[in-house]
Chains A and B, each alone.
Chain A
């Protein structure tokens, strides 16, 4: 019988309308590094939130056993009290507090009068920093550290809470190679000290090199449990578990007949706005009239950053590379210039970046192409209504009138408003970033139909999607990105989920 520190049995967690987790079981042995794999949206983070009490006991079904006895965490404090600590992908440090203050935040080292004992705080912090191998002065503000070191501060903080089960969500996603290697080393050392680690990761090479066992999730269900110690489990084996589902047949048919090249991007590189690393690294891509091109990649691969930097330098700094529209070199120094050059970008986060939620349908649709409705700065507002009405009909936007406030529409209808807005700018290339995220199946089909209609009219479409079946169902060609680089391009006839996943997980060094 195994000595399991943790068992999660038949966990089911539903959100309104969706089952995020269904009968998921997970067993973690004491003192191992346990990896959890799965595509975006497979339920990994949800499972860890259930475990750490972010979703309190009672909001899900199933049992959690820690050291063989059932536990009911009502919040993070409960789980931390029992030595279960989660480190999220977005680090939860207060930038302008010192390392020591951050480590003991909420757990302050008090002296006799109830005041904070700074000497003890800093001395303890120094010891913890030594244990994670971070040679920094504990009074240094966290903001002065790089992401890699911040991650180590998080781990030191976890150790200060007497952690026994440490959960790391995508710990190396934002790290460069040196920092990643350092972190993996530290995880091995922690394991040797008896701390059990659960690690969510997209980087399969890291998993095969460090994990003792792996649980694969897919669509909110446990697919399989793999023993890794023998070293026989390959990355391909894990990928097969992650994607093994059929292509659902809800993609409308389209006769593909690509024409002339419309947009070509060459050697595009973008630096992170505040950190010193390339988020997009020498990427090249082209798309033809009447063609749908996909960009596949895991979270943090740089797809959105790539698209936004092309679209009027909306992301990053030190952007280099060349853009050609119909064979002629163009520049997109501002969003307005990108729009003028016939590029449109529909964001992945329509509520934050795509729509003015307090404004009506009509004015959202005209927002990007207002100049087309204006003469000498004077908006022809009746024509604006007409344009909106036309879109409402063509796109089948379900709303009482074009004067309806966009914030009250369903996700699918909001997405149609976003599409209408960009089509009104009459673009040659339409970049759709996660065009069907968070919308229901029926609306998805409608969006796909609209995309097909557009390419039939001769537009070029680039789809960024985390759903591989969507890319396989919609695209003519699919590019894969990993760590800011284009790692491959496959015609859809040759593409399979396995092949794509392999290219998406490909690491920097192995790329040409």
Chain B
């Protein structure tokens, strides 16, 4: 670099004060809805679906025990959806994650159950295998230039086969209690509580407080940089709503078995990956590649490197999901993780990711995953036939993507 010009990230404007945050902003619902249609649409859909099933099951779906169940049952899909939405934003797809979940779980089971190593060795082995699988996919996609569809389709067969090999075609179980706690354990009773778990409520409250503080700081910064924001009343309303939902959720958990350990893992992953996608150079480059590959290349983005790490990351998260799943099922089966890829892909697309890449969010994928989870769970509670469940899920996916395509076409027309 021959330039000596100071970096633009230097001093901050100081003219406005945080107090102004109380008085500016728009409440115009048209602007707000139009700006966030893609995002807010799925939140609305989630609320409608939750309400629908609460009604259809006479409130059973919102009972403390069932909410806990949903978390335990779908956590690994949500973990996969985090990785999958990043893959999809980059303009790829990963069909192999189900097989990788099986393989990593199997490796962990062999290490812990068959060879008798401590539980954490199994965890590390599974993560290492997941990362290696991701690097394998990344190599073929990024450096050889084979479409991810083909590479991961091959991986789906390949790693399913290796799973059978590793397990010698039989199931392994049970895991030691420590390993089993990862997915089936709870944190409770740490600070007491009468008929409920105070610790769970405390964590919920801390989460809400953290969310409110960070939103307020963003808002203040936006105003300082003279960007449009929503009105303060609306801001308060939004915070209150989110806080109420989270605290209700925590309250229900506290009245069941307490805070599931897997929920803590999931929350940490959502937080980290939410920041990774929005706030890091890597995250931005993923969006840039998916949005316009040629333009990204001509902007100096090292497309191959980024693509490689997208798949390494997917492998890593597949391993996390594999650990959770094997822990939950307390063993490893040759057929584990079958069709998980489709649930993860569906979650990402329902959550607003674009088929052509460049669009999508981690939070969206989580909401998409929850929509699928609440629907499956609700239909199970109602005793709906498996065949019909499949039909409904298929239609929901189709409608969600059709909505996305329609949205894009409309945006295109106004260009």
Quick one: which of A418-435 are within 8 Å of B by CB?
421, 424, 426, 428
Quick one: which of A378-402 are within 8 Å of B by CB?
378-383, 385-387, 389, 401-402
User: Which residues in B have their C-beta under 8 angstroms from that of A335?
Assistant: 297-301
Q: Does B227 contact A385, Cβ atoms closer than 8 Å?
A: yes
B358 closest partner in A (C-beta): A358
Instruction: Give Cα A347–Cα B284 distance, bound, in whole angstroms.
Output: 21
Is residue B292 within 8 Å, beta carbon to beta carbon, of the partner chain? yes
Most buried by A among B285, B294, B295, B358: B295
Hey, what's the 0/1 contact readout for B289-311 against A, CB within 8 Å counting as 1? 00110111111111000000000
User: Which residues in A have their C-beta under 8 angstroms from that of B278?
Assistant: 381
User: Which residues in B have their C-beta under 8 angstroms from that of A311?
Assistant: 298
Hey, what's the 0/1 contact readout for B394-415 against A, CB within 8 Å counting as 1? 0000000000000000011011
In the complex, 14 of the A-B residue pairs with CB atoms within 8 angstroms, ordered by the A residue number, are: A311-B298, A336-B301, A338-B300, A353-B295, A367-B295, A368-B300, A370-B285, A372-B9, A373-B9, A374-B280, A374-B281, A379-B279, A379-B281, A424-B8
Is residue B2 within 8 Å, beta carbon to beta carbon, of the partner chain? yes
Quick one: which of B1-49 are within 8 Å of A by CB?
1-3, 5, 7-9, 12-13
Instruction: Give Cα A502–Cα B225 distance, bound, in whole angstroms.
Output: 54
Q: Does B2 contact A325, Cβ atoms closer than 8 Å?
A: yes
Is residue B125 within 8 Å, beta carbon to beta carbon, of the partner chain? no
Contacts A353-B295, A356-B358, A357-B291; is A334 near B300 (CB within 8 Å)?
A: yes
Q: Does A367 contact B296, Cβ atoms closer than 8 Å?
A: yes
Is residue B226 within 8 Å, beta carbon to beta carbon, of the partner chain? yes
Q: Does A359 contact B225, Cβ atoms closer than 8 Å?
A: no
Contacts A336-B300, A345-B298, A408-B415; is A372 near B7 (CB within 8 Å)?
A: yes
A379 closest partner in B (C-beta): B279
User: Which residues in A have their C-beta under 8 angstroms from that of B301?
Assistant: 335-336, 367
Q: Distance in Å from the Cβ of B60 to the closest Cβ of chain A? A: 42
User: Which residues in B have their C-beta under 8 angstroms from that of A428?
Assistant: 2-3
User: Which residues in B have their C-beta under 8 angstroms from that of A383?
Assistant: 8-9
A383 closest partner in B (C-beta): B9
User: Which residues in A have their C-beta under 8 angstroms from that of B282?
Assistant: 377
Q: Does A356 contact B298, Cβ atoms closer than 8 Å?
A: no
Give the residue of A340, A380, A408 whose beta carbon is less than 8 angstroms from that of B9: A380
Give the residue of A334, A354, A359 whose beta carbon is less than 8 angstroms from that of B287: A359
Q: Does B287 contact A426, Cβ atoms closer than 8 Å?
A: no
Q: Does B300 contact A358, Cβ atoms closer than 8 Å?
A: no
Q: List 9 other contacts, CB 8 Å, given A382-B12, A385-B222.
A: A312-B300, A353-B294, A363-B288, A370-B281, A370-B285, A377-B280, A377-B281, A379-B280, A385-B225
Is residue A407 within 8 Å, beta carbon to beta carbon, of the partner chain? yes
Give the residue of A352, A356, A405 whose beta carbon is less than 8 angstroms from that of B288: A356
Instruction: Give Cα A126–Cα B3 distance, bound, in whole angstroms.
Output: 64
Is residue B183 within 8 Å, beta carbon to beta carbon, of the partner chain? no
Is residue B210 within 8 Å, beta carbon to beta carbon, of the partner chain? no
Q: Distance in Å from the Cβ of A355 to the closest Cβ of chain B? A: 6
Hey, what's the 0/1 contact readout for A297-324 against B, CB within 8 Å counting as 1? 0000000000000011010000000000
B224 closest partner in A (C-beta): A382
In which size bucket is the chain A interface?
35 or more
Instruction: Give Cα A371–Cα B282 distance, bound, in whole angstroms.
Output: 10
Q: Does A356 contact B292, Cβ atoms closer than 8 Å?
A: yes
Sorted from nearest, which 9 A-B pairs have the closest CB atoms? A356-B291, A368-B299, A336-B300, A335-B300, A383-B9, A367-B299, A356-B292, A353-B294, A339-B300
Hey, what's the 0/1 contact readout for B191-221 against A, CB within 8 Å counting as 1? 0000000000000000000000000000001
A314 closest partner in B (C-beta): B298
Q: Does A387 contact B299, Cβ atoms closer than 8 Å?
A: no
User: Which residues in A have their C-beta under 8 angstroms from that of B359?
Assistant: 358
Give the residue of B292, B302, B412 whose beta carbon is less than 8 angstroms from that of A336: B302
Q: Does B3 contact A426, Cβ atoms closer than 8 Å?
A: yes
B279 closest partner in A (C-beta): A379
Q: Does B414 contact A408, Cβ atoms closer than 8 Å?
A: yes
Is residue A237 within 8 Å, beta carbon to beta carbon, of the partner chain? no
Instruction: Give Cα A341–Cα B2 distance, bound, in whole angstroms.
Output: 7
Q: Distance in Å from the Cβ of B404 to the closest Cβ of chain A? A: 12
Hey, what's the 0/1 contact readout for A481-494 against B, CB within 8 Å counting as 1? 00000000000000
User: Which residues in B have their C-beta under 8 angstroms from that of A141?
Assistant: none
Q: Does B295 contact A382, Cβ atoms closer than 8 Å?
A: no
Q: Does A354 contact B227, Cβ atoms closer than 8 Å?
A: no
User: Which residues in B have their C-beta under 8 angstroms from that of A352?
Assistant: 292, 294-295
Q: Does B2 contact A326, Cβ atoms closer than 8 Å?
A: yes
Give the residue of A342, A354, A359, A389 whose beta carbon is less than 8 angstroms from that of B298: A354
Quick one: which of A132-161 are within 8 Å of B by CB?
none
Q: Distance in Å from the Cβ of A395 to the closest Cβ of chain B? A: 15
Give the residue of A325, A345, A380, A401 whose beta carbon is less than 8 angstroms from that of B228: A401
Q: Distance in Å from the Cβ of A9 to the closest Cβ of chain B? A: 37
Q: Distance in Å from the Cβ of A215 to the closest Cβ of chain B? A: 37
Instruction: Give Cα A389–Cα B8 distance, bound, in whole angstroms.
Output: 12
Instruction: Give Cα A426–Cα B7 distance, bound, in whole angstroms.
Output: 10
A373 closest partner in B (C-beta): B9
Is residue A130 within 8 Å, beta carbon to beta carbon, of the partner chain? no
Q: Does B280 contact A378, Cβ atoms closer than 8 Å?
A: yes
Contacts A359-B358, A377-B280, A378-B279; is A334 near B302 (CB within 8 Å)?
A: yes
User: Which residues in A have their C-beta under 8 angstroms from that of B13?
Assistant: 386
Instruction: Give Cα A401–Cα B1 distance, bound, in whole angstroms.
Output: 32
Q: Distance in Å from the Cβ of A331 to the closest Cβ of chain B? A: 14
Q: Distance in Å from the Cβ of B309 to the closest Cβ of chain A? A: 12
Give the residue of A342, A370, A407 whose beta carbon is less than 8 angstroms from that of B3: A342
Q: Distance in Å from the Cβ of A314 to the closest Cβ of chain B? A: 6
Q: Does A381 contact B294, Cβ atoms closer than 8 Å?
A: no
Q: Does A356 contact B296, Cβ atoms closer than 8 Å?
A: yes
Instruction: Give Cα A98–Cα B228 distance, bound, in whole angstroms.
Output: 60
Give the residue of A312, A325, A372, A405 whose beta carbon is less than 8 angstroms from that of B411: A405
Instruction: Give Cα A408–Cα B415 distance, bound, in whole angstroms.
Output: 4
Instruction: Give Cα A301–Cα B281 distance, bound, in whole angstroms.
Output: 38
Instruction: Give Cα A358–Cα B352 distance, bound, in whole angstroms.
Output: 14
Is residue A403 within 8 Å, beta carbon to beta carbon, of the partner chain? yes
B225 closest partner in A (C-beta): A385
User: Which residues in B have their C-beta under 8 angstroms from that of A389?
Assistant: 225-226
Instruction: Give Cα A456–Cα B278 distance, bound, in whole angstroms.
Output: 37
Q: Distance in Å from the Cβ of A353 to the closest Cβ of chain B? A: 5
Instruction: Give Cα A403–Cα B35 distance, bound, in whole angstroms.
Output: 10
Instruction: Give Cα A386–Cα B226 distance, bound, in whole angstroms.
Output: 9
Q: Does B288 contact A367, Cβ atoms closer than 8 Å?
A: yes
Q: Does B8 contact A373, Cβ atoms closer than 8 Å?
A: yes
Contacts A336-B302, A389-B225, A403-B227; is A371 near B2 (CB within 8 Å)?
A: no
User: Which residues in A have their C-beta under 8 angstroms from that of B8?
Assistant: 372-373, 383, 386-387, 424
Q: Distance in Å from the Cβ of A46 to the closest Cβ of chain B? A: 23
Q: Does B358 contact A386, Cβ atoms closer than 8 Å?
A: no
Instruction: Give Cα A373–Cα B284 distance, bound, in whole angstroms.
Output: 12
User: Which residues in A have their C-beta under 8 angstroms from that of B412?
Assistant: 407
Instruction: Give Cα A405–Cα B408 distance, bound, in whole angstroms.
Output: 12
Q: Does B225 contact A342, Cβ atoms closer than 8 Å?
A: no
Instruction: Give Cα A374–Cα B280 distance, bound, in whole angstroms.
Output: 8
Q: Distance in Å from the Cβ of A369 to the closest Cβ of chain B? A: 8
User: Which residues in B have their C-beta under 8 angstroms from that of A314?
Assistant: 297-298
User: Which residues in A have their C-beta under 8 angstroms from that of B279?
Assistant: 378-379, 381
Contacts A379-B284, A385-B225; is A358 near B291 (CB within 8 Å)?
A: yes
User: Which residues in A have their C-beta under 8 angstroms from that of B285?
Assistant: 370
Q: Distance in Å from the Cβ of A405 to the closest Cβ of chain B? A: 7
A408 closest partner in B (C-beta): B415
Instruction: Give Cα A338–Cα B13 distance, bound, in whole angstroms.
Output: 32
User: Which residues in B have their C-beta under 8 angstroms from that of A375?
Assistant: 9
Most buried by B among A339, A347, A370, A405: A370
User: Which residues in B have their C-beta under 8 angstroms from that of A334?
Assistant: 300, 302
Q: Distance in Å from the Cβ of A323 to the closest Cβ of chain B? A: 13
Q: Distance in Å from the Cβ of B358 to the closest Cβ of chain A? A: 5
A347 closest partner in B (C-beta): B298
Q: Distance in Å from the Cβ of B339 to the closest Cβ of chain A? A: 30
